[in-house]
Structure 1
Amino acid sequence: MIDPASLGRHLHDLRAGRGLALSALAEAAGVSVSMLSAIERGEKTPTIVVLSRIADGLGLPVSRLLADLETGRVIVRRAAEQDHIAEPGGWHRTVLTPVVPGVNFEWIRTTLPPGCDAGAFPAYAPGSHEFVAVESGELCLGVGDAEYILAAGDSVYFPADVGHSYANRTGKPCVYFVAALIMRSRSAG
């Protein structure tokens, strides 16, 4: 298990060793200064995508960023430690998975309010995968040029190396889970 305080100290030392201000690394990594600061203080545990961005900003592979930080094989992420992200348009994501060195996997619970379009997402690198399962409501999933309507209990798999989108076109909330195996950060646009 990676101790957030140890990760924060290690990240701070790497940044300081390169003579980078917090704002410079945040800009290079594409993460907010407040997020980076909270990680360095050990107050937040970043997702693998955020860790990958920080590593890229430092010019390091993720494995080097996490070197010597793993202290056990079982990693527990308590509900209070999960990242809750309120997105524009009223939808909400909760990142359920802990960060595991060398494993580019995320499990996310998303709630789309009635009539909410979460927008289009760019493709991940080849070899990436997404699994989606609808818990309640109805989800309109776009994958490339195709569209799929999924009801409660439905699930789908798709290679995540194509653009995709999520929308709720009904008058009731939609709750769904995404399990994503991400080969590296998303491509731009």
Structure 2
Amino acid sequence: MLDPVLLGRRLHDLRADRGLALTALAKEAGVSVSMLSAIERGEKTPTVVVLSRIADGLGLSLSRLLADLETDRVIVRRAAEQDHVAEPGGWHRTVLTPVVPGVNFEWIRTTLPPRCDAGTFPAYAPGSHEFVAVEAGTLHLGVGAAEYVLGAGDSVYFPADAPHSYANRGADPCVYHVAALIMRPRKTG
């Protein structure tokens, strides 16, 4: 299991060793200053994607950033420990997966209220994958120029190296799960 206090200390030390102010690393990593500060204080455990951005900002691989921080090979993430994110427009995400060193995988449960468009997400790096399973309601999934209408129990896979979007055009809430393996290009130099 990844100890958030140890992770925070590691990030703070790496940032200080590089002479980076909190604002400079936040800008370089594309992460808010408040999020980075909360992570350094051990108050928040970042998602894999956020942690990968921070590693990029420090010029490190994710596995190098997390080296020696793992204290247990089995990670139980209780419901109360999961990250719950209320998004603009009224939709809600729950990040179900813990951060695992060297693994760019996330499993997210999303609820879209009636007539909610979650927007378009940019293409990820080549080699990225998304698997979507609809639990309830009807999901309109856009992948590139195509749209797929999925009902409860339906699932789909697509390479996530194309822009993709999620919308609920119905009168009932839509609940779906996304399992994503996200590759991120590393900065050079």
Report the TM-score when normalising by structure 1: 0.95
RMSD: 1.0
Name the structure 1 match of 2:12: 12
How far is the alpha carbon of 1:178 from its aligned partner? 0.3
- Contact 1:135/1:177 (CA < 8 Å) preserved in 2? yes
Look up the equivalent residue of 1:35 and give its one-letter code.
M
For each residue in 1:8-63, what CA deviation from the matched residue of structure 2 results, as whole angstroms up to 9, or x when unmatched? 10111001111111111111111111111111111111111001110111111112
Q: Which runs of 5+ in 2 are unaligned?
A: none
Asked if 1:68 corresponds to 2:64, the answer is: no
- 1:1-189 correspondence runs (5 A): 1-184=1-184
Which digits, 9 at most, give the CA deviation of each residue in 1:126-176, with x for residues without a partner?
111111011111000011111111011111111111111100001111010
CA contact (8 A) 1:45 1:81 kept: no
3-state SS of paired residue (2:133): strand
Deviations 1:95-114 (A, max 9, x none): 11000011110000001111
| Counterpart residue identity of residue 110, structure 1 | T
Amino acid at match of 1:77: R
Q: Counterpart of 1:39 in 2: which secondary structure? A: helix
Which amino acid counterpart does residue 69 of structure 1 have in structure 2?
A: L
TM-aligned CA deviation for residue 83 of structure 1 = 1.1
Give the SS at the match of 1:107. Answer: strand
% same residue: 85
